[in-house]
Structure 1
Amino acid sequence: MPLISRRPKLSFTQKDLDYLLKLSHSRNQAASIVEISKIILLSYHGKNDTEISRELKVDYKTVR
């Protein structure tokens, strides 16, 4: 059974979401910025840390 996050649900304006989406697909930004934006977007869409780490193939600690 997956653990339920105790973190508050993320909330963004549409402008913020558009910017995160743009960053997550960027080829000009640093790889770490792209990775962080993907993590944030997946978390926003309700994925837990374990699911995110598996989907992006990154260490669980990176997601946390």
Structure 2
Amino acid sequence: MIDAPFVAHGNIATAGGCMASVYLAAWVMGRLGGEDNMREALHYVAPVGEKAAYVDHALSVVRPFWP
């Protein structure tokens, strides 16, 4: 068992918890569209007043798994 909110190996990724969809979307967007596009998309859907922290947190979780 892996105690992590997000894990990816190659082209396969998995996530758990309430932020799973955010992590998976961030991972795909970051890999395919680059970090700037990923940040813009997440910033758009992030809660008001938490945008920067939301985007930075998601990025910190998925960035180690980008090639």
Band of TM-score, shorter chain = 0.3 to 0.5
Higher strand share: 2
- With a CA cutoff of 8 Å and minimum separation of 6, indicate the structure with the bigger relative contact order: 2
State TM-score, norm by structure 1.
0.43
